[in-house]
Amino acid sequence: MAALSGLASALESYRGRDRLIRTLGYCCQLVGGVLVERCPARSEVGTRLLTLSSQLSHCRTVLRLFDDVAMFIYTKQYGLGAEEDDIFVRCVSVLGNLADQLYYPCEHIAWAADAQILRVDSARWWTLSTAFWGLSLLLGIARSLRMVLTLRRRLRGPAVAFTSRLPRSKRRAMEAQVRSEVLTLLSNVADLANAVHWLPPGVLWAGRFPPWLVGLLGTISSLLSVYQAGRAEATTP
């Protein structure tokens, strides 16, 4: 009952529903891709799962039509990152917010073109939105790497050689932040691999991933996101 109650609570929020739809969609793509490629007798089931995955992805695209305002408010509140002590973290965070802000209208135009609402080349706008997504992920990876290295240096530095100088609660908080940044880093790396795959052919490994590999990477990223969200809720007073 506790697990069911937690699931119901998560589904009440937009972010919770999005995580569930994302995880389910990539899991369907993973299983469907494996069945189509490795199990000819189950290829029909695999094809249906791939179709379900595509529809879930389309569902998320439609829901993101309403994300622009929330992203704009977050970007405005963050501003130039005056609260950040590290100038590198500040710069990559500001650039990442800008990339995220530009991603949404590009995706909206691509969706509208596919739905024949706008008469433009949807492929060009899908490529542009994917490029902004990939840039945001790359900046997020750089930020997480910097945060992990900085926090580990502080934990191992001479100033904390004597544990009495660093309160236990603060040390635990820093260690928890390191673990969180590592998980974010792994999630972004998995998503970046897929983002490159969806770019036009000729860009690195674009177009070379089979459906099951795209599903595997997306599932890993989604499960890490769900785990982090669950941990955040568990530690919230």
Give the tens place of pLDDT for each residue, 63-77.
999 999 999 999 999
The DSSP code for 41 is G
Residue 58 falls within a domain, yes or no?
A: yes
What is the token pair recorded at 72?
């704009």
Residues 136-181 have pLDDT tens digits of 999 999 999 999 999 999 888 765 544 546 677 788 888 999 999 9
Instruction: Categorize the per-residue pLDDT at 200 as very low, low, confident or very high, splitting at 50, 70 and 90.
Output: very high
Residue 30 within any structural domain of the chain: no
Residue at 127 is within a domain = yes
Mean of the pLDDT values across residues 79-96?
92
Residue 77 lies in a domain: yes
Whether the predicted pLDDT of 1 surpasses 70: no
Chain mean pLDDT for the chain: 91
In a domain, 192, yes or no: yes
Question: Is 7 within the bounds of a domain?
Answer: no
Query: In this predicted structure, which of 52-61, 124-133, 221-230 has the lowest mean pLDDT?
Result: 221-230
Number of domains in the chain: 1
Please report, for residues 70, 77, 109, 174, 207, the alpha-carbon distance to residue 63 in angstroms, rounded to integers and kept in the order given: 13, 23, 14, 35, 26
pLDDT tens-place string over residues 102-135:
999 999 999 999 999 999 999 999 999 999 999 9
In a domain, 32, yes or no: no
Q: Give, for 78, the enclosing helix (H) or strand (E).
A: helix 68-78
* Least trusted range by pLDDT, from 106-115, 187-196, 221-230: 221-230
Name 102's Cβ contacts closer than 8 Å, sequence gap at least 6. Answer: 132
Domain that holds residue 180: 37-234
Q: Which two tokens stand for residue 217?
A: 């990477």
Three-class SS state of 148 = helix
Q: pLDDT higher for 38 or 1?
A: 38
Q: 222 lies in a domain?
A: yes
* pTM (two decimals): 0.90
